Structure 1
Amino acid sequence: MAEPQRILIIKHSALGDFVLATAAFQAIRRHHPAAHITLLTTKPYRAIAEASGLFDAVWIDSRPPLTQPAAWWRLARRLRGGGFQRVYDLQRSSRTGWYLRLFGRRKPEWVGRAPGASHRYDGAGDRRHIAEREAEQLALAGITAIGLPDLSFLTADTARFQLPPRFALLVPGGAPHRPAKRWPAAHFAALGQHLADLGMVPVLLGTASEASEIAEIRQACPAARDLHGQTDFADLAELARRAKLAVGNDTGPMHLIAAAGCPSVVLFSAESDPVKVAPRGPWVRTLQRETLTELRVEDVVASLPEAAPS
C-alpha cells in the first residue's frame, strides 16, 4: 500500500486571519482527502486546529529570531524530516518564505510567495480581500470552490452562563497596541441600553486587558452581562450561534463570531481596511469612519439586522 502524500500547511497569524484561513484549510483537506496533513502554527491556535479534525499533526512554531541559530537548525531538521511533498504557505511572509530554503536541496512543491516556489503566488500590493487572494493562491495548485469558513466543529456547553433566549454579543476590545481600532466604551454602553430597551440582554465579551472598558460599559448599562475572561474559542462559537446579533470592533473574536453564523456588524477605523480584512460569514455588515469617535450610535443601530428587534 502506497504511503499517503505528506502535506504541510503554514499559518501563524492572528485569530482573525486564522479563522479566515479555515476555509482554505478545509478546501485543502477536500483536495487531499487521504493525505497526511501537518499544520505549522503558533501556540494560541493549537486547540482550534486540533478541534477542526483537518490535520493529522499540529506543530508549533516558536518563530525564533535570527540571533538563535540553534533554534533555526532545529526547525530546519524538523522540516526536512517531515517528508513533505507539498507545502501550502498561507502565511506568505518573508519569514515563511525563508522556510523553503531550510529544506536544502530536496525542496518540496511550494504553493506561496517564496522565491523559487514551484507554484509562486505573490499578491503583494493586492487590495482584494485576503480570502480572495488565498483562493487565487490555491487555484495555482488546482484547488477551487473555496467557500466560507465552517466552524461547526467548535461546540461547547454554554448553559453555565445562564443567558436568556434573546441576547446580543458586544465586543468592545481589540489589540492593546492599537486603541484607534476601538469604538468608545460610552458608545457601546448606549448601544447596549438600546438593545436592553428592546428586550435583548447585551453580553460583553473580551479579555482581562479589556476589563476597564467593560466595567465602564456595565456602569452605564447595568442590564449588560459581563463574560470577559470567561470564554474560549468554542464558547464564542456556541454563543454566536445562539445570539440574535453581534456588534464589535475589528478584532479576532468578531471574525470567529461572524464565521459561526451570527449576524454581525463590525466597526472599522482608518487603522484597517474592511475591503481586505472584513470578517466573512452568512451575514456581515461593516461600518467605517476615519476615527471611530465619529461613528454615531444611531448609525450602528440603523445597521443592525432588520430582524433584531423581533
Structure 2
Amino acid sequence: MTEDTRAVIPGSLPAAGRGAPAPGPAGRLPGDGRGRVLVARLDDVGDVLLAGPAVRAVRAHAREVTMLAGPNGRPAAELLPGVDRVIEWRAPWIDHRPPPVSAESVTELVRLVRGTDEAVILTSFHQSALPLAMLLRLAGVRRIAAISEDYPGSLLDVRHLVDESRDVPEAERMLDLARAAGFVLPAGDDGRLAVRRPLPDAGRFGIGGGDYVVVHPGASAPARTWPAGRARQAVRELAADGHRVVVTGTERALTAHVAGGAALDLGGRTTLAELAAVIDGAAVLVAGNTGPAHLAAAVGTPVVSLFAPVVPAARWAPYGVPSVLLGDQDAPCRGSRARVCPVPGHPCLTRVISEEVVKAVRELSQ
C-alpha cells in the first residue's frame, strides 16, 4: 500500500540533518542496510545541480547511488558528490526536444536500471513522476518515492504530497522528498549546493591571478536571455570600472560579440567542470536564470541574476549564496514557463540596463 507523506518544508536554508526520517515499509529507517538507490532528475544542468543536497542525503544511507539523468543534465550529474554512477536516458515527457516513445527505448531503460533496490524520482512542480515510476516497476524496483499530486495506485511506495501554492526553493523541495523516503543529510552537511573537488585547473585559459568577473550571456531558453547588446555594454562598463572580465558560454558568436575586445572570451572552450573552475575563481558571476547560475551557487560564488519571471525566483534563484536579482518579477510573462517570451519586446529583461549590473557587481564584490 502506498505510504502518503505531507511536506514539512523549512523556510530557509536547511540545517544539517534537519527533520526526523520517515519510516518506509515495515517501519524501516535509514541505516538499515539500504542497497542500490537510483536518484532520477531528467532535465537540465541547473535542475540536476539543485538536486545535489537530496543526492547526498540518499548517499549517506545507501550502498550505491546511481543518478538517472537526461543528456542535458548528465555533465552536472557527473559533478555531484555522492553519485557513484550516471545513467543517461532521454525522457519523452520531459526533454525539450522529446524523442518518440519506442519499445526499444523503454526496454533499454529497464535493462539499465535492473538490479536497483529503491528509487527517488525528483521532479519540478509541473512534471509527473508517474511515467518513470511505471518503467521502474517494470525493471523490478521494489520501493519508489516521489512527489505526486495525481493518484499513483501501485506505482509509488512513498507518495509525498506538497502544497505547491508555496514557492519553496527547489533544492529544499527535493531534499524534503528524500527525507520523506527516509534519507537525511549526515551531521555536518549544511544542505548547500556542491560539486566534486578538486576541480580542473583553470590556469590554462590564461585568466591569471586576482579577482575577475564572469559574464555568461546565454541561456537555454530565449525568454531567459538578457539582450546581447546590453551584455556587451555591461562588459565594457565593468572593464571601465576596473574589473577584469571573462565571458563564458557555448555559443561562440554570442560570446565573441559580448566580449568585444574588452574581455577574455572563453566561448565554447570549457567543459562543465572547467566552467565550474572558472566561476570558482571569480569574484562575481553575471548570468540569467540558467545552469551556470546554479553552478556558481555550488562553488560559492555570488551571482548577479538577470532573472526572467517565467518561473518563480523563490524556487529557482541562486541558492545559498549572496545574489542580486535584476528583472521585473511582476512582468506579464510571470509564471508562464515560456521558452520564448510571449510579451513583445521582452520587457522583463530588456529594461535592465548595464549600469544596474555594474552597481550590483560592486555591491557583491566588496
TM-score, with length taken from structure 1:
0.85
The alignment status of 1:161 with 2:189, answered yes or no, reads no
Counterpart selection for 2:68 from 40, 48, 54: 40
5 Å matches for 1:189-268? 189-208=232-251, 211-219=252-260, 222-268=261-307
Question: Which residue number corresponds to residue 225 of structure 2?
Answer: 182
The alignment status of 1:171 with 2:216, answered yes or no, reads yes
Counterpart selection for 1:13 from 28, 43, 46: 43
SS of the aligned residue for 2:177 comes to helix
Letter of the 1:97 counterpart = L
Counterpart selection for 2:181 from 141, 162, 169: 141
Shift of 1:57: 2.7
Task: In structure 2, list runs of 5 or more residues that go unmatched.
Answer: 1-31, 93-98, 332-347
What RMSD, in angstroms, separates the aligned Cα atoms of the two structures? 2.7
Counterpart-to-counterpart distance in 2, 1:53 and 1:213: 32
CA spacing shift, 1:273–1:307, aligned 2, 3 Å: closer
Shift of 1:29: 1.0
Question: Which residue number corresponds to residue 142 of structure 2?
Answer: 108
The alignment status of 1:58 with 2:103, answered yes or no, reads no
Deviations 1:260-283 (A, max 9, x none): 111111111232321111122432
Question: Which residue number corresponds to residue 88 of structure 1?
Answer: 120
Structure 1 runs of 4+ aligned residues shifted over 6 Å read none
Task: In structure 1, list runs of 5 or more residues that go unmatched.
Answer: none
Q: Greater helix share, 1 or 2?
A: 1
> Does the CA-based 8 Å contact 1:202-1:224 persist in structure 2?
yes
Letter of the 1:252 counterpart = G
Counterpart-to-counterpart distance in 1, 2:288 and 2:79: 26
Counterpart-to-counterpart distance in 2, 1:242 and 1:70: 44
Letter of the 2:215 counterpart = L
CA spacing shift, 1:101–1:48, aligned 2, 3 Å: closer
Shift of 1:231: 0.9
CA spacing shift, 1:109–1:248, aligned 2, 3 Å: same
TM-score, with length taken from structure 2:
0.73
How many residues align structurally?
298
CA spacing shift, 1:166–1:96, aligned 2, 3 Å: same
Shift of 1:226: 0.7
Deviates most, 66-75 or 264-273: 66-75
Letter of the 1:71 counterpart = S
> Does the CA-based 8 Å contact 2:53-2:175 persist in structure 1?
no
Using the aligned pairs only, state the percent identity.
28
